[in-house]
Amino acid sequence: MTTTPSFSGAVAIQVTTDAALIRQLAHATWYPTYGEILDKDQIDFMLEEIYSLESLTRQMQEGQTFLLLLDQEKPAAFAAFSLVDPARQLFKLNKLYIHPQFQGKGYGKLLLEEVKNRAKQLGGAKLELNVHRHNPAQHFYHRHGFKIAQVVDIPFGRFTLNDYIMQLDL
């Protein structure tokens, strides 16, 4: 694990390469997050495709920066972002998940602000993300200035992702 703390006190955000820890947090967050939106088969498939140790390691090697939020040294949340279009200075928020035990503490906002600040420091002009059209998180992103740029249906294995692409000027 690489450590670059951003906050002092009980909460810290640091860069991590601990794929096993990210996988564990993803499994703890995905079922509560998507249980009423997606079939269990789709959640299982996506967890295996996106959050296997091999997939996470590949994502890290391909340029996704993973941030881990610790609450009193306990893993509470994570985010990942990457540069997707250097010519447009476009960054993507690939992931942002809060463990159910730590929701409601403002950690989503802290992680989002950290991603925005890091993207700006790297020359970013825009930040975009995909969010399922029925995921209540879309309202969180809207409150933080993101606007719907596109409505997309993306084939993913035998499933289709029904997403909004949302963007924010940095």
For residue 134, give Cα distances in angstroms to 15, 107, 112, 163, 170.
30, 21, 20, 8, 26
Q: Are 67 and 78 in contact (CB under 8 A)?
A: yes
Q: What is the pLDDT of residues 79-116, one digit of tens each?
A: 999 999 999 999 999 999 999 999 999 999 999 999 99
Cα distance between residue 66 and residue 81, in whole Å = 7
CATH code linked to domain 11-169: 3.40.630.30
pLDDT at position 9 is 61
Cα 67 → chain centroid: 9
In the predicted structure, residue 5 carries a pLDDT above the cut 60 = no
pLDDT digits (tens, 9 = 90+) for 48-65: 999 999 999 999 999 999
pTM > 0.85: yes or no: yes
Going from N- to C-terminal start, the domains of the chain cover: 11-169
pLDDT in tens, 115-164: 999 999 999 999 999 999 999 999 999 999 999 999 999 999 999 999 99
